[in-house]
Structure 1
Amino acid sequence: MLGELPTTGISYCVCDDRAVFLDVERDRYFCLPSQLNQAFVRTVIDGDAMASADAERLRALGIEDPAPRDFAARRNTHAMPTKEMALSDKASSVLRAGATHWLVQSRLKRWPFARLLAYEQRRAPRRSHNPSTQTLAKLHAAFRRASLWMGEADQCLARSIAFRMLAFRLGFAPTLVLGIKLDPFAAHCWVQSEDCVANDSLERVRCFTPILAF
């Protein structure tokens, strides 16, 4: 389960009975102390009323108005993918893929995380007459080849935003998904077209619980 908290820029998911939060404005993930976590999970999952003392502690963390009806109205379970993009022997412009990846890398260095996400949330796809899955597969192949010189380590966010940018230009409207896993904590990002992973492997993304998707 993932959702966005009312009146805040904080998104959350519940993973293994633990609430994990993404504060976009501060570019950080955080969890709650055990007792407060239990109270929060009971509120968002079971609809239990929260004690006023726990509510005050949450507000001190920037989590406002923690009433069951507020959270229930904002539940948004992002469907996990069930398949991945078939590999293509042909690639669209590898140079364009690499250049777009570099552009996003540059923005990540210069822009606050919140500004970049807000910018991307406003992006709209170009009109296209029935863009084919094969076109998206060729874009996937282009990014795979570009990664040989752009690198793989710690590039999932920049690569996925860049992939989504070019997919929108081709007439697609895929979803950017940020996910997390616990013990040990790790974050990952991928692009999803309906129930299909468009730029990653199904085996990899299945390890993560979505915390933000748009």
Structure 2
Amino acid sequence: MGSAPILRFPCSIRVFLQVERGGPVIDPAASKHTSRHTPDAVSAAEDVYLCKVYEDVVVLDLKADRYLCLLDAGTWLHPQPDGRLILGPDGPTEDLVAADIAVRGFIDRQRRASKTPTLELSGSHKTSPIETLWAALQILEATQVFRRKTLEQLVAAAIRPPDIRGRRTTSAQAFGAYKHAVTWVPGEGECLQRAFILKRVLAGRGIHADWVFGVRTWPFGAHCWLQIDDMVVGDTLARVSNYTPIMVV
């Protein structure tokens, strides 16, 4: 088997730069730590998320706010939805542990998986001036929360949604108010900021939406969007279908 170098993506999730080669190499064939008998029981390290994209495995290190790509690792590394990592007999366990990608033992991280999206909620919907004003205030508040936060801090803030204010509404009504209000609020930002703000607007009306982070390779790209069950909110099926989910908040 050929080597599987780690391609480092030395950037925040907010800005994706050109892939730089030449990072440390994880080579199952050459590793002196390779187990050639019973595969070791390992799990993703805390705050580390993995997914398989074709023959590669992409790693999201939440604390470091960066992505890594393990070339051809999909032949020996199989991430599971609960955080466990199934390694083939030639999987370089020690190297994964040393790189802070994995820890020994099967640990149920209780991570959530997103449903395959089949619907989208992206158009404008009727709303009242009061609802639009409320949404605008929520957008301004969420924008303040978003500023100068790391990805880890944003995820923590998203897990603790704002208190429900006012009456509960349907997802279409809440999204309609957001769409009308956002045109009057400057600085909507890129997908990370948009999804964070919309998630808080929906949560303020008692609506839970999954915050899905996805990746693609060759060329590398990352995107995030909201889903309610199998319905994409504020984005399109055509766009999100290009990405493989790696983390759901």
TM range (shorter): 0.7 to 0.9
Question: 1:98 Cα shift?
Answer: 4.8
TM-score normalised according to structure 2 size: 0.66
How do 1:119-158 and structure 2 match up within 5 A? Answer: 119-123=157-161, 126=164, 131=168, 135-148=170-183, 150=186, 155-158=190-193
Q: Identify the structure with the greater helix proportion.
A: 1
2:214 aligns to what?
179
> Is the CA contact (8 Å cut-off) linking 1:50 and 1:66 kept in structure 2?
no
Mean Cα deviation higher: 74-83 or 141-150:
141-150
Q: Does residue 84 in structure 1 map to residue 88 in structure 2?
A: no
Percent of matched pairs sharing the same residue: 28
> Is the CA contact (8 Å cut-off) linking 1:177 and 1:189 kept in structure 2?
yes
**Gapped runs of 5+ residues in structure 2?**
1-42
How do 1:91-110 and structure 2 match up within 5 A? Answer: 91=127, 93-94=131-132, 96-98=134-136, 100-110=138-148
Q: Secondary structure in 1 aligned to 2:207?
A: coil
Q: Identify the structure with the greater strand proportion.
A: 2
Question: 1:100 Cα shift?
Answer: 4.2
**Gapped runs of 5+ residues in structure 1?**
none
The 1:65–1:151 alpha-carbon spacing in structure 2 relative to 1, beyond 3 Å, is same
Aligned residues: 201
> Is the CA contact (8 Å cut-off) linking 1:104 and 1:162 kept in structure 2?
yes
Q: Secondary structure in 2 aligned to 1:144?
A: helix
Instruction: Encode CA deviations 1:37-76: one digit per residue, 9 max, x unaligned.
Output: 53223x7599444547x11211222112256x558x8675
Q: Does residue 115 in structure 1 map to residue 153 in structure 2?
A: yes
The code of the aligned residue for 1:160 comes to A
The code of the aligned residue for 1:39 comes to W
Q: Does residue 25 in structure 1 map to residue 59 in structure 2?
A: no
The 1:161–1:8 alpha-carbon spacing in structure 2 relative to 1, beyond 3 Å, is same
> Is the CA contact (8 Å cut-off) linking 1:137 and 1:198 kept in structure 2?
no
1:56 aligns to what?
94
CA RMSD of aligned residues (A): 3.3
Q: Secondary structure in 1 aligned to 2:102?
A: coil
Mean Cα deviation higher: 200-209 or 92-101:
92-101
1:200 aligns to what?
235
The 1:205–1:107 alpha-carbon spacing in structure 2 relative to 1, beyond 3 Å, is same
Instruction: Encode CA deviations 1:172-198: one digit per residue, 9 max, x unaligned.
Output: 111111111122111111111111112
TM-score normalised according to structure 1 size: 0.75
Instruction: Encode CA deviations 1:120-166: one digit per residue, 9 max, x unaligned.
Output: 1132774998x55xx322332344345546467x6111111111111
